[in-house]
């Protein structure tokens, strides 16, 4: 292996980092809100199914290609191709992935910035700094820019430090904190009046809704975004995994942790919404729909926290701190994708690369903030609805069709000697060849159809 490349030093380090990438605003906020607006239990059921049937196999494609090539997505896809044409298409997909990852970070940083700002607002409130909380929680140009910038700056610092001292060490500390805070918060929320109704809606599926196409598409998108698929993020994390590790098992752990945290977040957010409703907070519009997803957390939860006095303030600080952590372990993985490419292909020093790309992304964030109404929603749509599924499709094609089957088996067998007779090898190769690309194409076709 090329010596200056980083590597995760332990299995826990990898799982913490990859699960850290997977767990983010998507799980802790996106999943529960979508579940709430899509019939609760029905959405949960379909999400679970799709996470294991579609997202896990695609995750494995990225991890296996990544560890085999021990390099970034661009070079990796080129290296596993049998000829120049396929090599160039692969490299182009890799570069597209870096661009999509950067664009995702540019809107992600804005939302993550709000999380930090809300957390600080509650801290400022404890110290009775009366005008600061109002500024921190009001939607303003300066506030948005300052906090998105701050968030990107922290991301740059961690990524600059490289795999072991940066990504691994931080994820190992932050992930367990996140889990503990989430468990504590949901246990507390479940004791509140009204919470029980939220719990019922979350756990009792309305089977008639589980079959609606809209719900299935939403759940699929959610699972894909949630496991950070398509942009080469997981491929690059896979490239830092030691050859001795059993990849299918590691990927399984990452999927379990990711799905587990989403489900756990549902136990916090849905009961919290209904507890807020019980306290007289409006969470539904007159038509019975949920108040806009973008604002749910930033309007409903603070109102809930405010009804709880001092404990509420402490809960709010814990909650927004938790969201900021979740966002940070995701954002470092987004920045890592383009940074690893530039470092390895253009021999630029890691620090300068992180600085340079981070600054460009920060400028993109500013641009989005300045044109918020037109750009924010469109960038999210462009990247998550089109970019991720299309690129995910490419990974299925490269793992299933382009790359030689024997090489694939050999790679899996490195840390899993009996791979040939194992369950994974029985199902996964044809699954990634046929089922996954077909499902992705299916959603994509459906989405285009809806847009017309």
Taking the least distance from each CB to ligand TRP, the nearer of 55 and 215 is: 55
Tokens 């303030």 locate to 313
Taking the least distance from each CB to ligand TRP, the nearer of 27 and 38 is: 27
Q: Are 319 and 122 in contact (CB under 8 A)?
A: no
Among 120, 334, 343, 408, binds ligand TRP (CB under 6 A): 334
Taking the least distance from each CB to ligand TRP, the nearer of 21 and 160 is: 21
121's tokens: 């607002």
Binding flag, residue 106, ligand TRP (CB under 6 A): no
Q: Nearest CA to 155 among 165, 166, 168, 140?
A: 166
Q: How far is the CB of 69 from ligand TRP (least distance, A)?
A: 19
Residues 125-184 that bind ligand TRP (CB under 6 A): none
Cα distance between residue 392 and residue 364, in whole Å:
24
Cα distance between residue 431 and residue 54, in whole Å:
9
Tokens 């590691």 locate to 250
Binding flag, residue 22, ligand TRP (CB under 6 A): yes
Q: How far is the CB of 334 from ligand TRP (least distance, A)?
A: 5
Cα distance between residue 190 and residue 129, in whole Å:
31
Q: How far is the CB of 385 from ligand TRP (least distance, A)?
A: 12
Q: Are 166 and 6 in contact (CB under 8 A)?
A: no
The region of 9-17, 24-32, 40-48, 305-313 touching ligand TRP under the rule CB under 6 A is 24-32
Q: Which DSSP letter does residue 161 get?
A: T
Q: How far is the CB of 417 from ligand TRP (least distance, A)?
A: 32
Taking the least distance from each CB to ligand TRP, the nearer of 230 and 415 is: 230
Cα distance between residue 61 and residue 64, in whole Å:
5
Taking the least distance from each CB to ligand TRP, the nearer of 140 and 377 is: 377
The phi, psi pair for 284, rounded to 5°, reads -120, 145
Fill in the per-residue mask, 360 to 389: x = in contact with ligand TRP (CB under 6 A), - = not in contact.
Answer: ----------------------------x-
Q: How far is the CB of 30 from ligand TRP (least distance, A)?
A: 7
Among 21, 72, 155, 255, binds ligand TRP (CB under 6 A): 21
Cα distance between residue 225 and residue 365, in whole Å:
19
Residues 206-245 that bind ligand TRP (CB under 6 A): 225-226, 228, 231, 233
Taking the least distance from each CB to ligand TRP, the nearer of 115 and 275 is: 115
Cα distance between residue 116 and residue 112, in whole Å:
7
| Residues that contact ligand TRP, how many (by CB under 6 A) | 17
Cα distance between residue 85 and residue 92, in whole Å:
11
Helix axes 56-69, 436-451, angle to 10 degrees: 120
Tell me the CA distances in angstroms from 139 to 15, 26, 113, one per residue in order: 36, 21, 11
Q: Are 193 and 36 in contact (CB under 8 A)?
A: no
Binding flag, residue 26, ligand TRP (CB under 6 A): yes
Binding flag, residue 24, ligand TRP (CB under 6 A): yes
Binding flag, residue 27, ligand TRP (CB under 6 A): yes
The region of 20-28, 54-62, 151-159, 396-404 touching ligand TRP under the rule CB under 6 A is 20-28
Binding flag, residue 324, ligand TRP (CB under 6 A): no
The region of 22-30, 196-204, 427-435, 441-449 touching ligand TRP under the rule CB under 6 A is 22-30
The region of 25-33, 80-88, 115-123, 394-402 touching ligand TRP under the rule CB under 6 A is 25-33
Among 330, 340, 385, 416, binds ligand TRP (CB under 6 A): 330
Taking the least distance from each CB to ligand TRP, the nearer of 81 and 333 is: 333
Binding flag, residue 357, ligand TRP (CB under 6 A): no
Cα distance between residue 82 and residue 277, in whole Å:
59
Cα distance between residue 205 and residue 201, in whole Å:
7
Q: How many CA atoms lie within 13 A of 198 on its CB side?
A: 28
Binding flag, residue 102, ligand TRP (CB under 6 A): no
The region of 267-275, 326-334, 352-360, 422-430 touching ligand TRP under the rule CB under 6 A is 326-334
Cα distance between residue 375 and residue 373, in whole Å:
6
Taking the least distance from each CB to ligand TRP, the nearer of 86 and 323 is: 323
Q: Are 181 and 322 in contact (CB under 8 A)?
A: yes
Q: CB under 8 Å to 200, separation ≥6 — which residues?
A: none
Binding flag, residue 333, ligand TRP (CB under 6 A): yes
Taking the least distance from each CB to ligand TRP, the nearer of 51 and 192 is: 51
Q: How far is the CB of 380 from ligand TRP (least distance, A)?
A: 11
256's tokens: 């379990």
3-state helix, strand, coil in the chain (%, to 5): 80, 0, 20
* Positions that interact with ligand TRP (CB under 6 A): 21-22, 24-27, 101, 104, 225-226, 228, 231, 233, 330, 333-334, 388
């Amino acid at each position: 292996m090329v010596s200056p490349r980083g590597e995760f030093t332990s299995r826990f380090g990898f799982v913490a980092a990859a699960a850290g990438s997977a767990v983010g605003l998507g799980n802790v906020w996106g999943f529960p809100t979508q579940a709430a607006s899509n019939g609760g239990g029905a959405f949960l059921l379909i999400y679970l199914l799709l996470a294991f049937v579609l997202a896990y196999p695609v995750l494995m494609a990225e991890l296996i290609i990544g560890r085999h090539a021990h390099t970034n997505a661009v070079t990796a896809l080129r290296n596993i191709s049998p000829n120049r044409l396929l090599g160039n298409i692969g490299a182009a997909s890799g570069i597209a992935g870096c661009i999509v990852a950067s664009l995702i970070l540019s809107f992600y940083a804005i939302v993550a910035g709000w999380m930090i700002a809300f957390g600080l607002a509650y801290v400022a409130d404890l110290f009775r700094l009366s005008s600061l909380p109002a500024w921190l929680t009001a939607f303003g140009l300066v506030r948005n820019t300052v906090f998105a910038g701050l968030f990107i700056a922290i991301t740059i610092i961690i990524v600059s430090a490289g795999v072991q001292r940066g990504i691994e060490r931080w994820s190992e500390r932050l992930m367990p904190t996140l889990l503990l805070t989430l468990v504590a918060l949901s246990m507390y929320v479940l004791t509140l009046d009204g919470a029980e109704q939220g719990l019922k809606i979350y756990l009792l599926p309305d089977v008639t809704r589980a079959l609606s196409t809209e719900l299935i598409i939403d759940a699929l998108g959610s699972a894909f975004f949630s496991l950070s698929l398509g942009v080469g993020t997981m491929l690059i994390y896979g490239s830092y995994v030691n050859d001795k590790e059993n990849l299918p098992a590691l990927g399984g752990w990452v999927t379990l942790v990711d799905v587990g945290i989403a489900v756990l977040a549902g136990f916090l957010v849905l009961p919290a919404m209904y507890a807020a409703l019980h306290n007289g907070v409006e969470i539904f519009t007159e038509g019975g729909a949920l108040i806009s997803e973008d604002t749910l957390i930033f309007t409903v939860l603070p109102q809930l926290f405010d009804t709880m006095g001092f404990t509420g303030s402490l809960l709010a600080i814990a909650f927004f701190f938790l969201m900021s952590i979740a966002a940070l372990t995701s954002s470092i993985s987004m920045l890592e994708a383009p940074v690893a490419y530039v470092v390895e292909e253009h021999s630029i020093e890691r620090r300068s690369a992180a600085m340079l790309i981070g600054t460009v992304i920060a400028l993109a964030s500013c641009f989005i903030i300045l044109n918020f109404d037109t750009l924010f929603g469109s960038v999210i749509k462009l990247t998550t609805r089109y970019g991720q599924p299309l690129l995910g499709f490419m990974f299925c094609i490269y793992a299933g069709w382009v790359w030689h089957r024997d090489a694939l088996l050999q790679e899996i067998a490195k840390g899993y000697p009996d791979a040939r007779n194992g369950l994974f090898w029985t199902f996964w190769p044809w699954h990634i060849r046929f089922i996954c690309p077909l499902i992705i194409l299916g959603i994509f076709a459906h989405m285009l159809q809806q847009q017309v």
